[in-house]
Amino acid sequence: MAQKIKLSTIADALGVSTATVSLALRDSPLVADSTRDRIKDHARAIGYIYNRRAASLRTSRSGIVGVVVHDIMNPFFAEILRSIESELDRSRQTFILSNHYDQLEKQRTFIDTLLQLGADGVIMSPAIGTPPEDILMAEENGLPAVLIARTVEGAAVPVFRGDDAYGTALATNHLISLGHTRISMIGGTDQTSTGRDRYQGYLNAMEAAGLEVRPGWRIPGPRTKQAGFEAAGQFLALKDHPTAACCWNDLVAIGLMNGIARAGLTPGVDISVTGYDDLEEAAIATPALTTVWNGQREVGRRAARALLDKLSGTQVRPSQELIKPELHVRQSTGRPRER
């Protein structure tokens, strides 16, 4: 590889100063049009590559934004990421992605990396057990944070997520209105705000309808298709098993439906199933899944914008933004089967 080309290479070749080259390349109005064009043409011709590390060291802005979620392989996060991506692209920010798999240590390592790289900000779905101090520490070191999907009590930052209690209440009420009285809640965990809220919404709806809730009807844990598939056995083995299942998310619901089908029953006919998120594949599942649209696009878009606002110095209040979910009724729910 040839001699490294830098600003001064261009400056020397054209008989101007590096200051002029620097300004010209960034389209500063301080530089005469003709000078600017001459410089830009030459830079392109010799294949100049802008050194962002050097610039960033000087300006202490890196153009890097970090995004950390539980698992990008989860389509729920993937859909959020997609909209974050398109929002950040527009303002020419590079983003660095990481999974924390709900391990606090991995999350801390990543935040540390961002600090070392001088990242401009971070969008995070906090790992289970994230203490508010972790977020405070980042902010104090110049790394503003915005939260998605989950909240952290005591962290004074903006949070964007769906109204989870309202959402599961929608699903549960839909099942109740079809005539179901024994309804199970499958998946999720009390260790996250989302988990607590979704369970609460289900409880609220059941109680408001005067329906009994048996402890065994809750099968906590599953969050993946695989786990939903495996939960089918446990669900069907419940004494007087429920006629409907309100699932933690679409993945669990689709897995459960597969497990139910594998056991020789027909989901949507023998057992009604609701999902949560309305992933792209909910509509093409067999049967098509009744689910709660969770506003992934909206969450990603608003979170990215809030962060960009913070970066540009706009005051952003540390508020909870709850996106209103919507029920999308499809074929996986119906009247309870006569027995």
Partner DNA sequence: CTGAAAGCGCTTACAG
Q: Which of 99, 172, 296, 333 binds a copy of itself (CB under 8 A)?
A: 99
Q: Which of 1, 2, 29, 237 binds DNA (CB under 7 A)?
A: 29
Is 334:267 a contact under the CB 8 Å cutoff? no
Comparing CB distances to DNA, the nearer of 53 and 337 is: 53
Comparing CB distances to a copy of itself, the nearer of 10 and 169 is: 10
Phi-psi region of 161 (alpha: psi -120 to 50; beta: other; left: phi over 0): beta
Comparing CB distances to DNA, the nearer of 43 and 257 is: 43
* 16 interacts with DNA by CB under 7 A: yes
Q: Indicate which of DNA, a copy of itself, none lies near residue 229 (CB less than 5 to 8 Å, by partner kind).
A: a copy of itself
Separation CA 103–CA 95 (nearest Å): 21
Whole-angstrom Cα Rg for the chain: 26
Q: Which of 30, 37, 45, 142 binds a copy of itself (CB under 8 A)?
A: 142
Which contacts qualify for 210-216: CB closer than 8 Å, 24 or more apart?
211/176, 211/181, 211/183, 212/181
The Cβ of residue 116 has, within 10 Å, a number of other Cβ atoms equal to 8
Judged by CB under 7 A, the chain residues 51 through 90 that form the site for DNA are 51, 54-55, 57-60
**Beta strands per DSSP E along 173-256:** 183-186, 218-219, 244-247
Query: Which of 94, 101, 32, 43 is CA-nearest to residue 72?
Result: 101
Comparing CB distances to DNA, the nearer of 59 and 109 is: 59
Q: Which window, 48-56, 88-96, 141-149, 210-218, contacts DNA (CB under 7 A)?
A: 48-56
In the complex, the smallest distance separating the C-beta of residue 205 from a copy of itself, rounded to whole angstroms, is 29
Query: Which of 293, 75, 297, 41 is CA-nearest to residue 167?
Result: 293
Distant-in-sequence, close-in-space partners of 219: CB < 8 Å, separation ≥ 6: 184, 185, 186, 187, 231, 234, 235
Q: Which of 97, 128, 203, 265 binds a copy of itself (CB under 8 A)?
A: 97
C-alpha to C-alpha distances, 47 to 10, 25, 92, 94, 115, nearest whole angstrom: 11, 13, 21, 21, 31
Q: Which of 25, 85, 181, 218 binds a copy of itself (CB under 8 A)?
A: 85
Interaction site with a copy of itself (CB under 8 A)? 1-2, 47, 49-54, 56-57, 62, 72-73, 75, 78-79, 81-82, 85, 94-97, 99, 112-113, 115-118, 140-142, 225-226, 229, 255, 257-259, 261-262, 280-281, 284-286
Where do contacts with DNA occur on this chain (CB under 7 A)? 4, 6-8, 15-20, 22-23, 25-26, 29-33, 35, 48-51, 54-55, 57-60
